[in-house]
Amino acid sequence: MRSVETVTDQRMEDNGSDDYSLGSVPRDKRNMGWLSITNITFGIATAIFYFQMGSVMALQFGAINAIISAIYAIVVAGILGTFIAYLSAKSGMNVNLLSRGGGFGYIGASLTSLIYATNFIMYCALEGMILVAAVHEFFPAIPQWALILFFGTIVIPLNWFGIKQLDKLQKWSLPLFFIFLIAAIVVAARTPSLYEGSFWSYMPEGVQIGGTALLLCIGMQHGIMGLTPLLASDYARFLKPKDMKVGIFAIGFIPQIFCFGVMGGLGIWFGVRLGEPNPGVYIVLLLGIWGALFTMLTQVRINITNIYSGSLSLANFFENIFKFKPGRRFWVVITGVSAMVLMLGGIVNHLDTVMTFQGVFLLTWAAILVTDAVVVKRILKIGPGYYEADQRNLYKWNPVGVVSLLVASGLGTIAALGFLGEFLQSTAAFLAAILAAILTVVMAIATKGKYYVKQENQYVDREDYIA
């Protein structure tokens, strides 16, 4: 009988890449330093989307409410991200694979993989349209559909060679990003501010610190807070074991500090100073053609990250359900084409409700994985102390995660859509995550861990155990 690592190596060879989309990364292949992995996660942390969130929140609900909500997002997403980075680095698995042995079963985990994949496809379309709009502003003669096809296609070859290629792309593009960013800050600082006071004191008429305005800001943060902690798992699984102590905190917290704190904070400053919520407008106004290039750089950086994670999730889903294993590159193309279809169809203009569900779903999923690892596996000693990813050793469904996710995210979505009152609408994702954590413990105790594994796996390295 072959070991898990042998099976994993075979899967890698079948896929023609070094990305282990269908199995755990063997310990001898976990050879990336924490700086390299943190650098890759900056692809999403440097998205202009965070400018937009900061600007919109500040202009609508007041700068101080936006700042408080950003601190909240950093703390919650940072804690979740650190735990998930630890689980991934320890097991060599991303969240799609962790879910199989982390309370969902292999069919239950495939459902989370599919929803996770659609999330990245939609964000890819959304970020792509920001780029298309900025370039079209400068070159109106070029039809939008042509720009969509061009920028939608260009990220596919940039993903062809997997994690090593992503590392190189993010490394050389990060200095350029900072040059553009500093230029935008300098030009904005020299531009007369439309608001005379300090930017953090800006407050729209009739709005107060705290209360409904703060809750609405927190509600907006929830829409993305579930994504950034989960995203870390796609890269933390390659972390060198000797870098674990520093690495999990760096991967867990640094991207959150940058995206919610630095990018979001600058968005607040830009928005208040320039009186404009849309960075696609004010970055171009500040830097001209260089602003369009800045937008292009940031959106390509984030979309290669979206394509990478989306392809991993689709590979997991189709291998689980249909035993279809064409390789990660096939799913890179499918993810990219799907995003282009959404952009061409104008569907991104009607995604508010879906994005609301995504925010609730992702934060709930993250809470279940962390609760299962910390409380169920480590404290209660229910189920195996390792993560099982091989279908032969798994049940199709594990009610621990599946029931918790369906009940909590279902109620959370109802609340987020406003059916349970204003307070619950703004705090829906957080409350759904708390409910999911409680249900995870209750279901694990009720089922006595029966549905975690059919049979023990004798080939898991003891170093990969988390409990």
Instruction: Identify the three-state secondary structure at position 324.
Output: coil
Q: pLDDT of 64-85, one tens digit each?
A: 999 999 999 999 999 999 999 9
Q: Residue type for 194, please?
A: L
Q: Which of 100-104, 136-140, 307-311, 330-334 is predicted with the least confidence, judged by mean pLDDT?
A: 136-140
Contact status, residue 18 vs residue 237, Cβ threshold 8 Å? no
Rounded to 5 degrees, φ, ψ at 412 are -65, -40
Contact status, residue 336 vs residue 152, Cβ threshold 8 Å? yes
Contact status, residue 166 vs residue 159, Cβ threshold 8 Å? yes
Q: pLDDT of 196-210, one tens digit each?
A: 889 999 999 888 998
pLDDT at 226 over 80: yes
- List, in order, residues 6 or more apart from 105 with CB less than 8 Å away: 394, 395, 396, 397, 398, 401, 402, 451
* Average pLDDT value for the chain: 87
- pLDDT band, residue 349 (cuts 50/70/90): low
**Cross-strand bridge partners of residue 32:** 239
The dihedral region occupied by 27, where left means phi > 0, alpha psi between -120 and 50, and beta the remainder, is alpha
Q: Average the pLDDT over 13-28 and give the result.
A: 67
pLDDT of residue 299: 85
pLDDT of residue 403: 97
For residue 179 the two structure tokens come to 């040059």
pLDDT at 93 over 80: yes
Instruction: Identify the three-state secondary structure at position 446.
Output: helix
